[in-house]
Structure 1
Amino acid sequence: MTVLVEMGWGGLVQLPSTITWTDISQYFDGIVKGAVITRGAADELSETQPGTATLTLDNEDGRFTPGNSSSPYYPYVRKNAPIRISKAVIPTRSGSAPYPLAMLGDDFDDNRISSTLWPNSYGGASETGGRMRVPVNVGTTAGYQSAREWTFTASKLTAKLVTLPTANGSSSGSASMWVNSTTSGTRIGWSYNPVSGNLSAANQVGFSDGGATVLPYNAIDYVWLRVRESGGTVYWESSGDGASWTVRRSLATPAWVGSQTQAVEFAATRTGGTADHIEWDLVGADVRPRFYGMVNEFPIEWEGLTSTVTISCTDLFKRLNRLPVLKSMLAEEILHQDVAGVTDFVSAYYPLTEPAGSTAAGDLSGRGSGALAVTQVSAGGTLEFGTDGLADTGDTAATFTPASGSAGKYLTGDLGAQFAADSTTYWQTTEFWIKTTTVSRAILGMFDGGLDHQIVYALNASGVLTIEHTDGGGTLTVFTSGGASLTDGAWHHIVHDGYPTKQLYVDGVASSFTSSVVDMTGLRTMHIGGYRGARLFNGQIAHVAVTSVSGTIGATISPSHYQAATTGFSGEDADVRMARLARYAGIPSVTILGATHDAIASQGPGGTGVVPRMREVESTESGKLYAERDFYGLAYQSRDLRYNPDPSSEVFTIDYADLEPGTGYADDDQKLVNAVEASRPGGATQRVTAPASVLAFGEYPQQLNLIKTSDNSVLDAAYWLVSRYASPAPEMREVVIEAYTMSNYLDILDADISSYFTVTSMPSQAPASSVRATVEGYSETLKERSHVIQFRTSASATDSVWVLGDTTYGVLDSTTRLAY
């Protein structure tokens, strides 16, 4: 067993593709202090907390001292550096030969080649620095080689590729891991070419494979390599962490695999040049990730002349909790739109939500577009910020009230060099919201410095939208949309797709109008509320955005942005809302677990952080939200994931005698709830009680404020809470296990939030001979040859629901709780 501690020096935790992991396990104090990791919630009624990890590193040479220029990690020893912690479990050989290949395991930590595992090693191969080292010599072959005592069928060979050889002037070379048949040159495995820098997934016969899959090596995706046989197919797989694998090649299992006993060989050689070596580690390891996050600080401590660093780390909730408050859902949709298969980014975004008294409107795109200043034309008229805007967004808008079409105020400004470059390289998709009763006015326009390229969005004498343009200067060509009048005093949303079809969308729906508007380039100036001092707009304008695109996006963003502003996506399912909020936070992945997802009400207005909004969804749905422990992502569980656990879904079972001190039953009023008052935005306030429980224990009230879309859903949620906690049964809340000593160690490591396990052979004084518990969270201490896990648990029966006619879940007056 090895504790793997890896740092992503110079990478960004929110951009996993930037992280090349460095193994610092040799500096980790795994003997005395170990790593302490905490994850999950205290109980099922509490929110999951940010996951944390604490560990001590040897800093004798100053490598973990921030700002130390002599550190091999300089200048990246700094706060928020990515970190991940895993357990690599080395298999042990048992029984008699031939052994399954998955039993071949070596961590190379004793600095001597095992004569039992590698009796045929040759050519100067050694065990150095806790790794297998194979020389890549000139003209000769070196290698680690096992005895012929392994079987590949339904088994696997895994290794971590630690140090790569270089070309060093060679004309050819290879460093490989092979499963060898009894026929020389017939073998399956991975081979690295130090001259080309390619990996080859090979099934060789006569030392060659014309159909090998050749892959350019990179230090992110190919840290771990594996060959595996299963069900008549051989798979070549790679992994960045040793836990999540990607298939790189597969083919039907050759006949020799099932008919022979195999040997394993790690071999290397080169032609010409200068010798060096390849290093492998953790052969056969089963890796279980325990923590993924970032380091909070690197505090240096001294005890005499001995220097250590005890670092504290937090999972991605640290980053989420420090993000700025969200803007309205419309603004977030504009800023975080992501259309599959299309390059799209906002080049200019003027929400026009400045407070009253402002004299300019600012850009929120972050691309450097300049502010638009209030500009006076002739005399009279007003331009007011902070006036009522789109109702469901909570945003204000800009109101333009000119004295006439040629006297008043509008907005003008320089979009900047970056916008001009974007408009030259990409097409532009333009969108905005208007509210007016006045015809024959310009809404907004853009042009280049020489007026060769101009585009203007306006209303004609009938109130119909027009698009005016030129790419050669002179008189503008006018295209009339042919749609309905937009001067009815209501808000309207306009999207003009920049893709060559130039599709127009009004209020979330594609119009029958597709223009032949020419492509714009070099656009530099924007006018809003008029164009070049004329046709001054009379009404309100909001959320003007220009998106640079490589393809069409209108069909995606038009209905989405329209719904964001008019309904706040009220009615969408909880899992969809959770993924939407994650996108606003820049989280690339949300793992959705479970199938019951109710409709969620609007969270349209801004002003709160992304985590509080996610927690609103979580509590409304009685779900569970937490950070993944093996990558940068979130997981969200719906409540039905816990309904009626199937015994086959148990992660492990354990005898009570194998538990550590600290395990016991609790029977108190900590979770008792027998009176619930529940409400929703714009809905009824309703009360549910359990009279028998109130009589027996007194009233234990709780308030529920849920973002449901119906009063019936609110009532269901209230009944669900009361039915589970009006009279909680005795339960086991803490289970402590020295997992390392257990034969089912890997199964125990697989337990996570909402996993089930059973404790058997309970003492005679216990309410039952066995008890099934649900994991709510855990604290663990990882050391070499020790792994103590303290599970925080709840009674699985709390989430049982009625199943008609079922012998377990259909018992009258016992298991007749209706599902919610």
Structure 2
Amino acid sequence: MAGLAARVAAWQRRMGGTPGPFGGSGEASDGSPVKVELFIAGAWVDITSLVMTRSGSEKISITRGQADEAGQTERSVCRFQLNNRNGYFSPRNPTSPYYGQIGRNTPIRVHVPDPSTGGKLYRFWGEISSWPTRWDTSGSDIWVDVDAAGILRRLAQGAAPTHSVLYNAITDPGFESLLAYWPCEDISGSISIASALTNGSTMTISGYPTLSYYQDFGSSDLLPDMTDATFSGGVQGYLTTSPAQCRFLLSIPPEGVSNGKVVCALVMKSSAVTTWELVYGTGGTLTLRVLDSTGATVSGGVSAFGDVRGKRLRVSIELQQNGSNIDCAVRYLEVTSTEATSATGTVTGKTMARVTDVKMAPAPVSGAVSRGLDFSTLGHVTLQNAITSMTDLGERLDPSGETAGARVQRICAEEGIPFDGLGDLSDTVTMGPQAKKKPIDLISEAAEADLGVLSENLAVFGLGYRPRTHLYNQDPALTLSYSSNQLSSSLDPVDDDQFTRNDVTVTRQDGGMAHAALTTGAMGTADPPTGIGVYGESVTLNVESDATLADQANWRLHMGTVDEARYPQISVNLAHATFVNNPALKAAVLSLRQGDRIVITSPPSWLPPDDISLIVLGLSETIDHFEHRITLNCAPESPYQVGVLDSAEHARLDTAGSELASALDSSTTSVSVSTTSGPVWTTDSADMPFDVRVGGEVMRVTAISGSSSPQTFTVTRSVNGIVKSHSAGVDVRLANPTTIAL
């Protein structure tokens, strides 16, 4: 019989089995007309009728998101087989109508209709990177095993950038009117300062700078110390009627440098004005001095202003012809600010020529002051023939202090990745410097620091981000009833230590560290039976400040010491009558996103009576002739119930330690409670009612009397359906205690 079954299966394969899993219309037994489409020749082409489902395991299979609590979001994957008897899906087959139009990274999407609106609900959006053709020995059954992946697969292939954030920002094609650019990020031992432009000249070095020294500009590689050093570079020709704008980074130590030192000099070809010197003066001021060809001072320029000592600055010298006069301005912007300090001036009756040379930290044309800027740094010197905003580099001028959500959004924009953000992207942790890493590694680094949810965007081939704060105190996106048979498999609770972490150390990259441990209680570090022993975790984060590390450690400790069973997977089958007959419920399942809250009500009697509240981490789904089965990967949702000021539901702090002062039977409603640690319980009637948990039973407290321990609680019993006798010394806790959020 086994041999006959094998022959029948082979006949089915050779004869084609079924033409596709859903017939010509794509109709599955649950009434879901799934569509599979390829992007070919600029249009989406429906290939559903050529998607094959066999009698065995082959079907449309999709996975996305996180597999479990410890993981990160993985690339989504969609697998199925395509009928290739006609050779349509052999990319190099010249008789295929798709010849030359399919191949590596052909876009693909899978969608089903929204049961509520009739619109499209995308299940997968990705690319097919290869087209492996298979056939049986008869040559009658020919197919392609499709293994498509979401955008994370391609992003992981990219190389890390070879240049700094600021270098890439300035050399971006969108940066305006760039005539010359010297990053000054040259390594120790270099004999000149390289130009970042292919047609640009190098800067010559005079003196003895310490190259690759200064690291406090977070958007730059190491910059030079300019003690006893001058850099000089020539500028390519440009229209003399254009403005001239020279910009650079500057850091002068808090104690300043010698008065009269020249920070920058611009030399013009031939004019009544030949040199513009930016001079450091008393009190950290800057002056723009104007000189003629003899070195004599020309009236005008910019008078002394500001104080640049001890700051990280972007400085701008701006020159522009205005009729018969030259308007000039000097501005500086602290890299962490958006407001520049400025001063302006006018040189009357003079005409500009083009800038031929840029000199950094030269000796003045006249005077006894020497070259160089003692213990000072400069770099990223640009010359443009346009006047632009001081904030034209945006966050790229100094990404330190940028919020995690904003960083994810910005990097996606810079890389041309479609982006969908949920919640307030500014309500996220602040990040440290942006290193030279792959864009996806920078994005993942931000998500790890914020502990939010990075996802692949199902509405388009892109990414999405959901901040941690958007996970707090959610209403359920989906509620399912166990007793109404709305699940397609058992609940399978797991009470283990797989994701337990009760001793956490968090380190900031190139910074300090903080430690948090739970030393008492059932999840504490004490040896059993008092606790569970030490479960350690060490994490390194790129956050802005050491001041946030203690909060990071304590939040991760909070997440790692959840004392409840896990329900790693929840499964539903949309072909079940429960969903076929309830379009709104079906739509709620299909609309679930990573990070959504789901609730399972009416659990079986052998489990705790409380509703099961979970966070969706990811999912897998299969679609064939008969089923559309979705399995959700989940984690406990309770850690995300956090405190909210002036909230009746989320503003109660738990006791530091309380227990029953005496035993009580199953009918007692007057309960004596002793406080063993911390303040006693509130007696204010305005704070009532609230729920406490005693030995697994939830009681509703309606009044408390007594200003010292023990106190008397008036309670309503069996709020959660459990009622029983309790011994003296049993722990008394809030049923829903408030947690202080990160």
Q: TM-score range, shorter-chain basis?
A: 0.5 to 0.7
Determine whether 1:27 maps to 2:56.
no
Q: Quote the offset at 1:671 in angstroms.
A: 1.9
Distance (whole Å) between structure 2 residues aligned to residue 542 and residue 710 of structure 1: 25
CA contact (8 A) 1:292 1:629 kept: yes
Q: Quote the offset at 1:337 in angstroms.
A: 10
Local SS of the residue matching 1:751: coil
**Worse-superposed segment, 689-698 or 317-326:** 317-326
Partner of 2:102: 77
**Aligned with 1:395 (options 197, 203, 221):** 221
Determine whether 1:433 maps to 2:354.
no
Partner of 1:355: 187
Q: Deviations over 1:321-360 (max 9, x none)?
A: 334435545445545698xxxx858676432212223355
Distance (whole Å) between structure 1 residues aligned to residue 66 and residue 595 of structure 2: 11
Q: Quote the offset at 1:667 in angstroms.
A: 1.1
Partner of 2:381: 544
**Aligned with 1:513 (options 338, 344, 349):** 344
**Aligned with 2:455 (options 606, 617, 626):** 626
Q: Deviations over 1:652-704 (max 9, x none)?
A: 66656343346421111112222223344544533322422233322212224
Partner of 1:133: none
Local SS of the residue matching 1:482: strand
**Aligned with 1:7 (options 3, 18, 38):** 38
Q: Deviations over 1:755-790 (max 9, x none)?
A: 223334433323337533321110112345532111
Which amino acid in structure 2 is aligned with residue 295 of structure 1?
I
Matches within 5 A, 1:782-797: 782-783=623-624, 786-797=627-638
Partner of 2:603: 762
How many correspondences in the alignment? Answer: 585
Which amino acid in structure 1 is aligned with residue 607 of structure 2?
A
Local SS of the residue matching 2:568: strand
Distance (whole Å) between structure 1 residues aligned to residue 146 and residue 389 of structure 2: 45
CA contact (8 A) 2:265 2:278 kept: no
**Aligned with 2:315 (options 488, 494, 507):** 494
Partner of 1:272: none
Local SS of the residue matching 1:620: helix
Determine whether 1:603 maps to 2:433.
yes
Partner of 1:234: none
Local SS of the residue matching 2:497: coil
CA contact (8 A) 1:84 1:293 kept: yes
Determine whether 1:614 maps to 2:472.
no
**Aligned with 2:400 (options 569, 578, 581):** 569
**Aligned with 1:311 (options 125, 139, 146):** 146
Which amino acid in structure 1 is aligned with residue 735 of structure 2?
S
Distance (whole Å) between structure 1 residues aligned to residue 383 and residue 348 of structure 2: 16
Determine whether 1:36 maps to 2:67.
no
Determine whether 1:665 maps to 2:481.
no
Distance (whole Å) between structure 2 residues aligned to residue 755 and residue 349 of structure 1: 48
Q: Quote the offset at 1:591 in angstroms.
A: 0.2
Q: Quote the offset at 1:719 in angstroms.
A: 3.1
Local SS of the residue matching 1:669: coil
Q: 1:6 to 1:359 in 2, by over 3 A?
A: farther
Partner of 1:818: 739
Partner of 2:389: 553
Partner of 2:565: 730
**Worse-superposed segment, 743-752 or 698-707:** 698-707
Q: Quote the offset at 1:64 in angstroms.
A: 3.1
Partner of 1:411: 233
Which amino acid in structure 2 is aligned with residue 431 of structure 1?
R
Q: 1:560 to 1:756 in 2, by over 3 A?
A: closer
Partner of 1:241: none
Which amino acid in structure 1 is aligned with residue 532 of structure 2?
F
Partner of 1:185: none
Local SS of the residue matching 1:21: strand
> Any unmatched runs of 5+ in structure 2?
1-31, 335-339, 643-649, 653-686, 694-732
Which amino acid in structure 1 is aligned with residue 127 of structure 2?
M
Distance (whole Å) between structure 1 residues aligned to residue 425 and residue 312 of structure 2: 37
Q: Quote the offset at 1:504 in angstroms.
A: 4.1
Q: 1:479 to 1:627 in 2, by over 3 A?
A: farther
Q: 1:27 to 1:457 in 2, by over 3 A?
A: farther
Q: 1:497 to 1:374 in 2, by over 3 A?
A: closer
Local SS of the residue matching 2:392: helix
Partner of 2:22: none
Q: Quote the offset at 1:432 in angstroms.
A: 1.1
The two structures, once aligned, show a CA RMSD in angstroms of 4.7
Q: 1:534 to 1:585 in 2, by over 3 A?
A: farther
Local SS of the residue matching 1:673: coil
Distance (whole Å) between structure 2 residues aligned to residue 476 and residue 27 of structure 1: 82
Partner of 1:638: 467
Normalised by the length of structure 1, the TM-score is 0.60
Matches within 5 A, 1:700-779: 700-708=535-543, 713-726=548-561, 728-741=563-576, 742-743=579-580, 744-768=585-609, 770-779=611-620
Q: 1:464 to 1:512 in 2, by over 3 A?
A: closer
Distance (whole Å) between structure 1 residues aligned to residue 598 and residue 622 of structure 2: 20
Distance (whole Å) between structure 2 residues aligned to residue 596 and residue 461 of structure 1: 38
**Aligned with 1:481 (options 287, 291, 302):** 302
Partner of 1:685: 514
Which amino acid in structure 2 is aligned with residue 790 of structure 1?
T
Local SS of the residue matching 1:641: helix
CA contact (8 A) 1:375 1:412 kept: no
Normalised by the length of structure 2, the TM-score is 0.65
Which amino acid in structure 1 is aligned with residue 389 of structure 2?
I
CA contact (8 A) 1:734 1:792 kept: yes
Q: Quote the offset at 1:86 in angstroms.
A: 1.5
Distance (whole Å) between structure 1 residues aligned to residue 494 and residue 426 of structure 2: 31
Distance (whole Å) between structure 2 residues aligned to residue 36 and residue 610 of structure 1: 29
Q: Quote the offset at 1:542 in angstroms.
A: 0.8
Distance (whole Å) between structure 2 residues aligned to residue 446 and residue 305 of structure 1: 79
CA contact (8 A) 1:320 1:585 kept: no
Q: Quote the offset at 1:740 in angstroms.
A: 3.5
Which amino acid in structure 2 is aligned with residue 738 of structure 1?
N
Q: 1:666 to 1:345 in 2, by over 3 A?
A: farther
CA contact (8 A) 1:444 1:529 kept: yes
Q: Deviations over 1:626-654 (max 9, x none)?
A: 2212224432223333333335x436666
Which amino acid in structure 1 is aligned with residue 39 of structure 2?
G
Which amino acid in structure 2 is aligned with residue 372 of structure 1?
S
Q: Deviations over 1:567-595 (max 9, x none)?
A: x533x444334334444544353403258
Determine whether 1:47 maps to 2:47.
no
Q: 1:684 to 1:388 in 2, by over 3 A?
A: closer
